Structure formats: structure tokens, C-alpha cells
Chain A
């Protein structure tokens, strides 16, 4: 079987530049995600638990600590008041690939998360994930601009 030999002459250096651009963009996206995922997760956690929770920790008659339940709110305002912390524990982030990452609330831990997020007939929606994403979007965009400039310099494009 004859061996195929391929000779590529890139006299204009166009292919080299394309390769460098692709590498720079991939590098910038990866670095932006490294920064953005914890940032967005932090904001989602802020939306789930306010520093001053309306349900204070109290000591029970046997010495156990539990959260004192108060009147339930259906005002649809953020942050979502914390009761047992199950929804807070369900907030996770996952890096699917070098260029894709997600921040999500796991239904396995808090199966009622969609009812809090989208609302029910008795409770107005409190979109704790969506609101965090919307709020942090300009910051992520700015970070990407900064990272793309840095990557362009690193790959010899600027």
C-alpha cells in the first residue's frame, strides 16, 4: 500500500494565523470559564440564602439546633429564605468540556427546585439561577474581553 505524503506550503502564513486565532479564542474561553463558574455559583448561593436569614437557628429542648419556621412568603422576591438548606446544597457547577460549563440546581438533592424557580399556583416564581446568570453576564463578557486580549498577545497576534 502506497504511503500518502502531504506537503503543505503556507507561504502567506494564513493557516498559521488561523490556528493561532483558534487557539487564542479557545484559551480565552477556557480561562473565562475558570473565573465565571465560581462567580455565578457564588451569586446563585447569595440568591438562595441571604446573610440575615428570616429563619434563625435556635436550640431545641434536647440541645439540637434547628431552624425556626416562620410564615411562608409567596411574594416572589429574592433571596429565597433558607429553611433546611437543601436547595442551597443542590447548587452545583460542572465543567462539561474545556469550553462548556454549567451552574445548576440538582433535582436529586432538592426535587422541588423547579417549583421555587418557576413558581406554582400558590407561590410566585423566584428564579434564583436565571437571575444570577443575568446579573453576572456583563461581568463575564468584560472578563472575556480581557482574556481575549491577553490570549492574543500570548499567541503572537497583537
Chain B
């Protein structure tokens, strides 16, 4: 379960684990999954396109009637970054399509099982819901081009709801 005092990091780690669990099969095995906004060292060796899971931010606080503690609606930016050398626009389109396909149906994605580690505890074959939050939607963001570096990027905004007790 995600910890209340490490909520952002735990949600980020779980999402990274979920995406990494998909990298056993094509086309996900062509991409690198990283946590946080990519720093310069990532781009020094930019052989594979990357999918980064940025730090979550609070969208809204949820107060449920009778509940002892509040829950949060979180916004997590997941970005796909490619260069012309390692795929270009076609690869970016596949990455975005796969992300939308994965998260677009909350019923399916909240029931995918995968292994993850939260703090010192390892969880095996758990779903997102069992780990303490659920995905409720996804929004596509704009396409950004970096002409100087010949790179393209497109993000999706994932909306998640914590289920802290």
C-alpha cells in the first residue's frame, strides 16, 4: 500500500513498475522507462526513445462523508520523448497510442497485475487498486518539437485517485 507520507514517490514508483512490466513484449521493449523528468545525462545516451513518469501533483482534495482522512485526486504527467534518429514521429505515435490504450479504460488498467517495491516491501502480482490508488482517466497533451535537437515529445496527463485509509 502507498504510504501517506511518501504518497507522491510511491505513486510514481508504482506507475514506473507498471510500465516496466510491459517491457517484456514488443513494442514496449523498444523504449526506456524512467522516473522523474529526464536530466541531461539521459540525453547523452539517447539510443532508445524514453517514457518518463513525472512527479505527481495534487489536483484536488477529496473529503468523503464520515471518512477520518482525506484522499487526493492526483495528476501525473507521462511523457514520450523520441529523436529523429531513434524513431521520430512514427515511433512517437505508437508510444502515445500504447499509453492511451493502456490507461484509457480504467476498468482494465486498474486490474492489471505486476510486481513492485514500495519502501522495503516487495509486492508480487498486485493490482493498482490493491496498492492504494486507481486510475480514473487520461488526457492527451500537445505535441512539442525541439527543432535544434531533432527531437519530438508528447505528454499525457494521467488522473489518479488515492484510496488511503
Residues of A within 8 A of B (CB): 76, 114-115, 118-122, 124-125, 134, 137
- With A and B bound together, what is the CA distance between A120 and B40 in angstroms? 10
In the complex, the answer to whether A121 meets B40 with C-beta atoms within 8 Å is yes
B149 at the interface (CB under 8 A from A): yes
**In the complex where A76-B37, A114-B144 touch, is A121 in contact with B57 (Cβ < 8 A)?**
no
- B137-151 interface mask toward A, CB cutoff 8 Å, 1 = contact, 0 = none? 000001010100101
Which residues of B (62-111) have their CB < 8 Å from a CB of A? none
Q: Is chain B's binding surface mostly helix, strand, loop or mixed?
A: strand
Select one of B59, B142, B149, B155 contacting A121, CB under 8 A. Answer: B149
Select one of B57, B59, B142, B146 contacting A120, CB under 8 A. Answer: B146
In the complex, the answer to whether B37 meets A119 with C-beta atoms within 8 Å is yes
Which residues of B (114-141) have their CB < 8 Å from a CB of A? none
In the complex, the answer to whether A118 meets B144 with C-beta atoms within 8 Å is yes
Residues of B within 8 A of A (CB): 37-38, 40, 43, 57, 59-60, 142, 144, 146, 149, 151, 153, 155
- With A and B bound together, what is the CA distance between A115 and B153 in angstroms? 11
Q: Is chain A's binding surface mostly helix, strand, loop or mixed?
A: loop
What are 5 A-to-B residue pairs whose CB atoms are below 8 Å?
Answer: A76-B37, A115-B146, A118-B155, A121-B43, A121-B151
A122 CB to closest chain B CB (Å) equals 6
Residues of the A chain whose Cβ atoms lie less than 8 Å from the Cβ of B43: 121
- With A and B bound together, what is the CA distance between A138 and B153 in angstroms? 31
In the complex, the answer to whether A134 meets B144 with C-beta atoms within 8 Å is no
In the complex, the answer to whether B40 meets A134 with C-beta atoms within 8 Å is no
Residues of the B chain whose Cβ atoms lie less than 8 Å from the Cβ of A115: 144, 146
Residues of the B chain whose Cβ atoms lie less than 8 Å from the Cβ of A76: 37
B59 CB to closest chain A CB (Å) equals 7
Residues of the A chain whose Cβ atoms lie less than 8 Å from the Cβ of B151: 121
Residues of the A chain whose Cβ atoms lie less than 8 Å from the Cβ of B146: 115, 120-121
- With A and B bound together, what is the CA distance between A76 and B77 in angstroms? 15
- With A and B bound together, what is the CA distance between A132 and B144 in angstroms? 21
Residues of the A chain whose Cβ atoms lie less than 8 Å from the Cβ of B38: 121
